[in-house]
Structure formats: C-alpha cells, structure tokens
Amino acid sequence: MIELKNVSFNYENASIFENLSLFVAEGEKIGIVGESGCGKSTLLKLMAGLYVPSSGEIIVDGVRAPEEIIKKVSVVMQSPMLLPLSILENITMGHEYEDSKIEKIIESANLKKWIDSLPEGLDTYIGDSADELSGGQAQRIAIARAMFKDSKILLLDEPTSALDGENAASVLEAINHFTEGKTVIHVTHRKKHLEGYDRIFLMENGKLSEI
Ligand SMILES: Nc1ncnc2c1ncn2[C@@H]1O[C@H](COP(=O)(O)OP(=O)(O)OP(=O)(O)O)[C@@H](O)[C@H]1O
Ligand SMILES: [Mg+2]
C-alpha cells in the first residue's frame, strides 16, 4: 500500500508537485508516463523514501519515516546506483543468500552469459570499474538487486531503458513474472510495457491523471 496525501515537493525554487494525492492498494500495478522532466523520477524517489516531501505525507505499508520506507521497497532507478563491491555483493547488499536463489536471479535478469564470461564471475569487483560497465549491465545488476530484495512493493524507473529490444523484452517478461501479486509503480516512456496494468497515469504539470 502506498498513500500520498497532499504531497508537495520542490527542488530549491522549482516546484515539481503541489498537493498531489494518490492511493495505491496492495497488489495494484500502476504505470506512469509523461514527458521528460515532468517529475516521474522525483515522484518515485519520494515513494522510495529517498526524498522528503516539502509538505504532505507519504505512507508506505504503514510507515512514514523515510528510513523505514526505504526498507519496505525494492527500487530500480533510472541511473543504477552501484557500490564499490563485487557483482554478487551489489546484488545481495551484504545479506545472506542461497546459491540457487542467485542462480535463478542472474538468469532472470539476463546476466548469466556475461557473468560466466568473466574470469572471476560473480566475484568480479566492479568498484573502480563501474564506469567500464555498459549501461545495460549496470541496469541488469540493479534489477537483480531488486529481485533479490524481493519486497512486496517495487518501484521501477525505466527498468529496461538501457537494454536492446530483445534483452528488454525478456527482462521485462522476467520482471512481470517476478512482480505477480506485488504492488508495482512502473515509470516508462513505452506505454506498451504497461500491458495488463491496473491503472496508467499521465503526469503533467505536477498532476497525475488516469488515462
Ligand atoms: N536534483 C535536482 N535538483 C534540481 N532540479 C532537479 C533535480 N532532479 C531533477 N530536477 C528537475 O526536476 C524536474 C523533474 O525531474 P525528473 O527527473 O523527476 O523528471 P522525469 O519525469 O523523471 O524525466 P525523464 O523522463 O527525463 O526521466 C526536471 O525539470 C529536472 O530538471
Ligand atoms: Mg526520470
């Protein structure tokens, strides 16, 4: 469950939203489209607890504090945030894991072929070389991380934008399978990626209207 109550947000002097309200029920799949710069990523960051509203309230699964909200959601942001760690650690984020779960996830995120080609495989350190990863590799690691965390709520910001058509289609299929029964907010420029979603909103002038 995600609830936004009269949320306003501004970057310094620029107001992005004023009094935005939205209720997303548990298990609902919501798509958000809108022109570049309209505020879609900003909205997802607010829902992820990464930003704090200037006024109003955000409640995610019963919690209000940003540091608690972060724990409740899995996110794939538009620019993947990778850490100076191994590929494996970037996926597990230090949590315990079973090999079978990791195997399944790297298959779903289309990472297997690439990881198998690396001499150190999953233990490859990507810290200093994060710049040397392709946008698609970084994006697929971010997807694998979200799959590993396996929260009931997923926030996806253009999760396949850096992938070619074929890769995007198969990763999207894996995401759709993985998000079954979960609450999803999916921002995309490609409306066809939102087939089967419960509601699709257009973001425009700081407002959301259902389309
Ligand atoms: N950290 C920031 N500081 C100041 N302004 C920002 C910041 N991040 C974004 N903005 C501005 O806020 C507005 C909304 O940005 P946002 O990234 O949310 O748009 P978006 O809808 O996600 O765009 P896109 O489709 O291109 O990803 C834009 O005008 C942008 O320039
Ligand atoms: Mg964006």
36 in contact with ligand 1, CB cutoff 6 A: yes
Residue 188's domain comprises 2-210
pLDDT score for 129: 60
**How far apart are the CA of 39 and the centre of ligand 1, in A?**
6
Predicted TM-score (pTM) of the model is: 0.93
CB-facing half-sphere around the CA of 22: CA atoms within 13 A: 29
3-class secondary structure, 43: helix
CA-to-CA distance for 199 and 38, rounded, in angstroms?
19
40 in contact with ligand 1, CB cutoff 6 A: yes
Nearest residue CA, atom 16 of ligand 1?
A: 39
* Residues near 38 by beta carbon (within 8 Å), at least 6 away in sequence: 203, 204, 205, 206
For a ligand 1 pocket test, name from 10, 12, 33, 40 the mutation site with the most ligand atoms within 8 angstroms of its C-beta: 40
Plot region of 205 (φ>0 → left; ψ -120 to 50 → alpha; else → beta) = left
45 in contact with ligand 1, CB cutoff 6 A: no
Six-digit token string for 116: 């198998």
**How far apart are the CA of 196 and the centre of ligand 1, in A?**
28
Tally of domains within the chain: 1
For 203, phi and psi rounded to 5 degrees? -95, 130
Q: In what order do the strands lie in the sheet with 55-60?
A: 14-24, 2-11, 55-60
CATH of the domain at 195: 3.40.50.300
86 in contact with ligand 1, CB cutoff 6 A: no
Sign of CA pseudo-dihedral 75, 191, 183, 9: positive
Nearest residue CA, atom 1 of ligand 1?
A: 11
Per-residue pLDDT 10s for the chain (211 aa) are: 999 999 999 999 899 999 999 999 999 999 999 999 999 999 999 999 999 999 999 999 999 999 999 999 999 999 888 999 999 999 999 999 999 999 999 999 999 999 999 999 999 998 766 678 888 899 999 999 999 999 999 999 999 998 888 888 888 988 998 999 999 999 999 999 999 999 999 999 999 999 9
Residue 57 amino acid letter: E
Six-digit token string for 207: 């407002």
